[in-house]
Every structure is written in C-alpha cells, then in structure tokens.
Amino acid sequence: MSVKTPNVIKELSAEKGYKAWLQYNEITDESLKAEYSSYFASLSVTEDSPILNAAVEELTLAANAMLGKDMTIYNYFTDDATIILGTYQTIDVEEYGLSADEVKNLNDEGYVIKSVNQADTKKLVLVGKTDKGVLYAAFQLLRFMQTSNSIDGLHHVEQPKNQFRMMNQWDNMDGSIERGYSGNSIFYDENGFTGDLTRIKDYARLLSSVGINAISINNVNVWEVETNLITSKFLPEVQQIADIFRAYGVQTFLSINFASPIQIGGLATADPLDAGVQKWWAEKVEEIYKYIPDFGGFVVKADSEHRPGPFFYDRDHADGANMLAEALAPFNGVVFWRCFVYNCLQDWRDRSTDRARAAFDHFKPLDGKFLDNVVLQIKNGPMDFQVREPISPLIGSMEKTNQVMEFQVAQEYTGQQKDLCFLVPQWKEYLKFDTHAKGEGTTVDSIVNGSVYDFKYSGITAVSNIGNDANWTGNTLAQANLFGYGRLIWNPDATSEDIADDWVRLTFGDDKNVVETVKGMLLDSWHIYENYNAPLGVGWMINQHHHYGPNIDGYEYDVWGTYHFSDRDGMGVDRTMETGTGYTEQYFSPNKEIYNSLETCPDELLLFFHHVPYTYELKSGKTVIQHIYDTHFLGFEQVEGLITRWNSLEGKMDDYRFNNVKERLHMQLKNAREWRDQINTYFYRKSGVPDAKNRTIY
C-alpha cells in the first residue's frame, strides 16, 4: 500500500475545491453502486456532434470515478447498449415506452431520461429535442446519482424556462477582472490570451452542468486593448474559446466599444446614422462570423460612466442599438444593450436628482423603436446590485421591446466572496415579485421568460464570480451562488432550499450533519449580511472604490450623503410623488401606491422610498434608530454563530475547503464588527438617540 506524502494530500484536497459540484466521488453504498453499475456497461450514441461527444465524455468520466467502470462505447445506434444517447429524430422513442409527441413538444433544449427493462436488461435512454438537450440530460442523470437517488423506474422530463441563460465575464486583457474577487482571469494574462485552455474547458463544463447557454468573455467596460478583440489580431483566439464553449452548448458573445470605428477603423466618427459607420460595422460583423459561424452577438455599455455612445452625436439608444442590430441581423446575431445608464457627473447634492429614475426615464419613451434582435439588459434593481432594493420598474414596462434581467453573481456589494452571502433567496424574491404590468399575477419571471409579451428574445444574464483561484470563487461557499444562479434561471420555480441542498450534497457529500449545517448557513446568510450592512433598503454606505466595508457618507459621487440623506432629524430618500423625486410613479398600480405610502411601504424598503424621523415606528413596533442598533448588533453575533457552526464540521471534509471557509468567516467577522461599530456610532451621533438596551456604542 502506497503512502501519500503531505504535498500530495494537499494537492488532492485543493482538487476537491477545483472540482466544485462535479466531484463524481466513488459510490460507497453497495446497493446503489450495484444499481447504477447495471446501467453503465455500454453506451450507444446515435449521432456525431461536439455536444454529444461532450456528453459521452462526461458520462465516461463519471462512470470511471463513481463506479470504477470503463464502458464500451458504440458510436452508432445499437440496442445492445445499456445507455442510449441521441435526439428524438435518431431514436425510435416509442420502442422505449415514450410518446414521440412527448419529446417533439419540448423546446430545443428539453430532454427525457427514461429507464426501461427489456428482456431482463436494464437500459437508460437519454433523448433530447436537440443535442443540447442530450447533454443537459447527461448532467441531470449524474446529479441524480451524486445525490444518491435511485434511477430504477426513472422517467424525468425537463426543459429550461428561460431562453437566454447567460454569463457576463468582466475580464480585462491584462488578466485583471473588474469586480473580481477570485484571483485573475482564466481567459487572459499579462501576455493576452491564456494558454491554459483546459481550465476554460472545465469552466464550460461547470456552466453547462447547470444549464448556462451563453457567455460574453470580456468586460462591458471595453478599454483600448479589448477594443481589438473584434479584429484579426485576436479573432483566431476568440475562435478557439468559442469552439470549447460550443461543445458544451454555450454560445459566445463579445462586449464591444461603441467608438470602435474611430479607435480601430480609422473613421472620424462613430455616429450610428452615418452611412460609413454602418458600412464599417456590417463588414466587421461579416469578418467575425467567418471565424465564428455561430457567434452570438454583442454586449454594449454605452453613454454611462464615461463610456462612448450615441448621445455624443445627439442620437438615442435605439439609434445606437439598431445600427449594430442591422449589421448582425443577416447572421441571426443579437445585441444586448445594457440599461445601466445615468449621468455620473450630475449634481448629487440636488435632492431632485435621483439615479433610481435613470433607466426608466432613458428607455421607456423608446419602447417599440428597437429592432427585434435588440435585447435590453436591465439590472434587477434600479440602482446597482445592493443588498436590498426594489425591482427595477423598467422590467415589464416596455411591452414592445425584448428584455433580459441582469443579476450579479459576483458579490460586489454583498461581501465580495469574503463574506458569506447566498444570493438565491434574493433572486427568488425578484423573480416572484408581482409587477401587475398586465394585471395581478404578472410576476417578473413570467416577463423575463418572454411569455407575457411574447418577446422574440428573453431570459436572464449575470456578472460572473469566477477567477483563477484554485477553487474558482475565492470562498468555496461562493460556488453555491454560481451553481444556484444556473439552476434557478433554468427553473425559477425551484426553491432556495432545494437548490442549496443539491449544491451541498454534490459538493460535500451526504453526511447529514454537513448537509444540514452548510445548507442552514447558506439560507441564513443573506439576511445576516443585510443585518450588519445598510438598513431598511437605504444602501450605499460603503467604501468608494473597492465597495467593501462601511463608509457612511463617502460613496463615490456622494460626499454629501446624498444616497441616504441622513441629517439630525431623520434619514432616507423621499421618492414619493407628492414631495419627492416622483420615482414611485414609475411602478404599476397598486405597487406605486404601496411604495408611495408610509402606511403600506414594506419596512425592508422604507428608507429607499421615504425620509422619516429616527423615532418613526416600523411595522415591527421598533423605531428606525432602534432597528439600526439591534440589527447591527445581531448581525455581528450571527457571524459568530456562522463560525461556530462551521467549526463543528472540522474533520468531516478535506482540510483545504474547511480552512478556506474558516479563514473567510473570520474576515467576515472583522467586516461585521466594522459595520456594527461605524454604522451605530454614526447614527447615534447623528440622531442623539441612545440605544434602548444600553449597549456600548463607540
């Protein structure tokens, strides 16, 4: 028997972090192992495509790791195989007890998994509407096995509920990542494109395993070097990456610089109505498609935070987006036009100025003016991924314009993957919010899936949280946000509890204590973070540049505290129709009336919509100032509780992941202490109202 050296043990432990939820650990339950093994003797794949080959590769890898089996692979249909993979056009599904209509009626990424017993031989049939469906079926089958489910008698039918399920990388070509908290880029290093394509392939596997089907591979803030990604200098390397993602059903997009005709085209203008500019983009798009025939299209940030756009030429967003859309249309390409647009140079001391209004004010008047291959990309809230803010009123307000909602898996304002903050419960609240856009029951998820307004293109996108850290996400527990994002946007009806349970079991195994402890930590974490962060929806009490740690009056353009308007008498932003910025008017009734009224506005959003005295009594019965004191003391204590819970798991997992999370939780405790002390001290000095519980406030 060989003895592993400490270095080998350390490397194997780090590998557990790298594998994330694709652990494929050996099945130790003998009855389950026998059951699974009876199916994993041989495999028949009925067609040849890169995506089907990826499915075969994944099943082969898992069979070897989980069952110790090397399957016989038939690259053609044979009924002698125990696993049969293919699309419904190449498999006689009725022979296996399936209705042809059952598969035909699925969308293009849907699938059926069915176990059958023919002549005393167990078989598994994985049939998709297309080859993408077959790949998703393979990953789902392996999830069943990794979470110790019987697959005897299995008949599982599934399809994604959202069309675009996209990831936005904010990676720069010097290897850095804007708002990256997990090391540097896996795509680029100081020399340009990385040579480590293996890691990119593993990222494609992770994304595909949770149903992500699109990715943009560079930052929405496109700087000088990145502008050249759409030139022959870099397109061969973009092509290489697109080839990898294509094999896993993921379509490649690029973020572009609106001023590219000037910067790399030698033109004197980037005016979208200029014929020369339009011709330049048409030729550029044609060049891109010669390299990448299934290129998805462009992601564009324009006219916001100093990025160039159509405003410079006295044009509007529809003019800019449509110019690009016309160039992409012959190739079925799409423009994702971001709605994060506001004037960062305006006078923030003017209380009539309201950044929350910006997206709606800019885009609502343009409804119906965008071409049908333009998709507006709308942040989930009207501000910028705060721990608590209302849904953006722009979602659902433009019934003639394709739209997707944008989440942020990267925890820019929610702890930066140092602090634990599982965001799936927050995303669930957004998706299930009733906008009343077409009457009661018009939830956000029904709008972004395209069913309410019959959008041609729809779905959800998000900012990625991965980097080249050994475990992808810095904090191992932050992997749950990436996994949870993919699973939730595939099926918004999935519960936070089920998603968390699946991630823990896939990542750490079936130990009951581990599962219940980690799942509980995940599900509690968003509210814990909110408790010691910004109170009652006010937001923005955070350090200016790196967005971590408290700075109550110092956010960015906010040296006067104009994001929360705290004074000696009270705090909060008056966004009412009568005396405030009128922002509440942007919502459909009855939401506008609910938010506009102090009596009906939910406590958790009170200070987002209203300026109130510190002694104002919440529906909980507490005053605003006492709520601030109590939650900030509580949040710190709850982080202490997270540490205690995690420490109870020592010895129940590998040292790398245990110590990684332990270290991060102690960072979180320091952060929570700073938030508690600085926020409570600030508001005690501002209000002059002491803590009713006589706790020490510094």
What residues act catalytically?
A: 305, 384, 412
Q: Rounded to an integer, what distance in angstroms lies between the CA atom of residue 85 and that of residue 47?
A: 8
Nearest to 75 by CA among 62, 61, 91, 56: 56
Q: Per DSSP, which regions of 491-572 are E strands? A: 570-571
Q: Are 548 and 556 in contact (CB under 8 A)?
A: no
Q: Rounded to an integer, what distance in angstroms lies between the CA atom of residue 681 and that of residue 693?
A: 15
Three-state secondary-structure class, residue 476: helix
Q: Rounded to an integer, what distance in angstroms lies between the CA atom of residue 362 and that of residue 401?
A: 14
Reading the block at residue 616, the tokens are 């104002």
Strand partners, 612: 571
Chain centroid, CA 134 distance in Å: 24
Q: Are 328 and 247 in contact (CB under 8 A)?
A: no
Nearest to 677 by CA among 639, 633, 643, 623: 633
Q: Rounded to an integer, what distance in angstroms lies between the CA atom of residue 253 and that of residue 165?
A: 13
Reading the block at residue 157, the tokens are 């039918």
Q: Per DSSP, which regions of 546-618 are E strands? A: 570-571, 612-613
Q: Rounded to an integer, what distance in angstroms lies between the CA atom of residue 433 and that of residue 684?
A: 35
| Cβ atoms within 10 Å of 9's Cβ, excluding its own | 13
Q: Rounded to an integer, what distance in angstroms lies between the CA atom of residue 535 and that of residue 621?
A: 16
Q: Are 45 and 90 in contact (CB under 8 A)?
A: no
H/E segment holding residue 255: strand 251-256
List strands edge to edge, sheet with 121-128. Answer: 72-74, 42-45, 83-87, 121-128, 111-118, 155-158
Q: Rounded to an integer, what distance in angstroms lies between the CA atom of residue 362 and that of residue 369?
A: 13
Q: Rounded to an integer, what distance in angstroms lies between the CA atom of residue 265 and that of residue 471?
A: 40
Q: Rounded to an integer, what distance in angstroms lies between the CA atom of residue 403 and that of residue 409?
A: 19
Q: How many CA atoms lie within 13 A of 354 on its CB side?
A: 22
The values of phi and psi at residue 172, to 5°, are: -105, 155
